[in-house]
Structure 1
Amino acid sequence: MNQYRTLLPHVVEIALGAGEKLLALYEPDNRPADRTQIFEAMRRNENAVSSLRAELKSTRPQATWLPDELESAPLPDGEWWVVDAVEGNINHVHGTGEWCVTITLVAGGEPVLTVVRAPIGDNTYTAIAGEGAHLGTKTLRVAEKHDLADSLALTGQAEHGQTDTHQAISQSIGAMLGQNLLVQATVPSTFPLLAVASGHADVFWQYQPTLPGVAAGILLATEAGGTATRINGTPWTPGSSDILVSNTTLGAQTSNILTRI
């Protein structure tokens, strides 16, 4: 029996509980007036789900909570809880619906278990390495398109202030425009990755991703039949400076375009 199968229901329960706490704070009509109000609301949300760390520790004591300094770095050996307790926090405080709780267990440098709880829409995504990806009881599959011209391509914004990365994003969007039916940039990374895993979109790429932003989506997309690589087609690992997630055919076509800019 897969060792993570018995762990999954406990992680789902923890994610559901965190989602309910955030839902109680959610106001669709909220319109913050300035950065002070935005950051105060974001801190409030983070404080509301601060118990996640202790809850996960009690569920699997041998796994270590990922510290901030390793979010964009290669991971040492061992098991790591990679969590974004309020993924899409900026959307939550602005009253839009693309926010969620993501909990991923990474072992040996690979995501092996994940739960994404999106209270708006009442959606719970789960995956265990080798056992497929699911939305509730529905099995997910990536799209089977073979021509980039027929595809929906998505990317994500870098952290605020990363000027060099912003330039790379701008150049990559420019290179992809005209190659796809649609190119869209969005925040946070989890939702476009969920779209790729579900077959609603076809390609996702990002520069300077953080592990909490992509770990859940990587496992869901690869368990749904997709691939996760660097933009140049080499294997993705934690700490990689970019990522490309798609099916094999579209991934190769996208890599060919983006590596030429």
Structure 2
Amino acid sequence: MSSTHAEVLARTADAVRSAGSVLRKRFGAVARHESREELMRALAANDEAVLEVLRPRLTQLRPDARWVEDELEGGALPPGEWWLVDPAEGNVNHLHGLPEWAVTATLVRENRPVLTAIHLPLTGETYTALAGGGAHLDGRALRVSETADLGLALVATSQARPDEDASIVRRIGSSVTAMLLDALVVRTSVPATLHLASVAAGRIDAFWQFAGARADLLPGALLVSEAGGRVTDADGRAWTPESDGFLASAPGVHAAAVAALTR
């Protein structure tokens, strides 16, 4: 390879920061829409504006890496190296004038994240992680919380996408009930990536989700694991992009979180 993974990560972080400035300029008043079609056009316009900056820079970095075209898709990727990008993670928040949104870029090889960069344009923060190299926020090493009692834990979940299958919706509802009974406080909001960044930073003790897109979960999975957390499916087994559940947590609350989610 012509560049080390650390060099690629540094340049990826620069790329998401540059692209994020485009999304920040587009942020402001609530974007009004009268139909699902109007909403989808507004979401796509944000994506396209960011990708115009981000895609050529990442393609130049790794010319042989293929590009995941639909950030909402789940499941395993074909063999090889891929750029997995969410140009406006939390896009619906952006259009509603809410601050929780980001630009993410993750290099995936053989369905394992190699490196990720997550930029929050409104705060200027950039989270990065490198497989085997730790997780950082603007260069400061991240570490998950030391909480060992789920009853003292702040936990979070997220809706993976609109129009989920009814069985998944019911599973989400029962899991929230279980966590409301067992944890201290439950947060429910989108997007997943920002919750996972908070798990990696020790601000939230656990995050779970059912179903979900690769672009929602792979960046945060790398952040949390490199910050010393545990990443599994909701049953406590090894997580892959094909799993139907996801759990990332501080080690001290993982077993109790699995017990709550599988009750």
TM-score, structure 1 as length reference: 0.94
Q: Distance in 2 between matches of 1:3 and 1:78?
A: 18
User: What residue in structure 2 maps to residue 30 of structure 1?
Assistant: 30
The amino acid of 1:147's aligned partner reads: D
Q: Is the 8 A contact 1:207 1:243 kept in 2?
A: yes
State how 1:16-55 maps to structure 2 within 5 Å.
Answer: 16-27=17-28, 29-35=29-35, 37-51=38-52, 52-55=54-57
> How big is the shift at 1:33?
4.7
User: What residue in structure 1 maps to residue 242 of structure 2?
Assistant: 239
The amino acid of 1:215's aligned partner reads: L
Aligned residue pairs total 259
SS of 2:157 mapped into structure 1: strand
User: What residue in structure 2 maps to residue 180 of structure 1?
Assistant: 183
Instruction: Go from structure 1 to structure 2 and tell me whether the alpha carbon gap of 1:102 and 1:236 turns closer, same or farther (over 3 Å shift).
Output: same
Once the two structures are overlaid, the 10-residue window that deviates more, 1-10 or 18-27, is: 1-10
| Identity of matched residues, % | 40
User: What residue in structure 2 maps to residue 71 of structure 1?
Assistant: 73
User: What residue in structure 2 maps to residue 140 of structure 1?
Assistant: 142
User: What residue in structure 2 maps to residue 222 of structure 1?
Assistant: 225
Q: Is the 8 A contact 1:106 1:112 kept in 2?
A: yes
Q: Deviations over 1:178-223 (max 9, x none)?
A: 2111012111111111110111100100000110011111111111
> How big is the shift at 1:132?
0.9
Q: Distance in 2 between matches of 1:75 and 1:203?
A: 26
**Structure 1 position 253 matched with structure 2 position 256:** yes
SS of 1:77 mapped into structure 2: coil
Q: Distance in 2 between matches of 1:107 and 1:33?
A: 39
- Tell me which of 63, 68, 84 is aligned to 1:61: 63
Q: Is the 8 A contact 1:71 1:239 kept in 2?
A: no
Q: Is the 8 A contact 2:156 2:186 kept in 1?
A: yes
Q: Is the 8 A contact 2:160 2:213 kept in 1?
A: no
- Tell me which of 158, 165, 168 is aligned to 1:165: 168
Q: Is the 8 A contact 1:123 1:135 kept in 2?
A: yes
Q: Distance in 2 between matches of 1:228 and 1:71?
A: 20
> How big is the shift at 1:42?
1.5
User: What residue in structure 2 maps to residue 82 of structure 1?
Assistant: 84
**Structure 1 position 201 matched with structure 2 position 183:** no
Q: Distance in 2 between matches of 1:72 and 1:25?
A: 28
> How big is the shift at 1:50?
2.5
The amino acid of 1:217's aligned partner reads: G
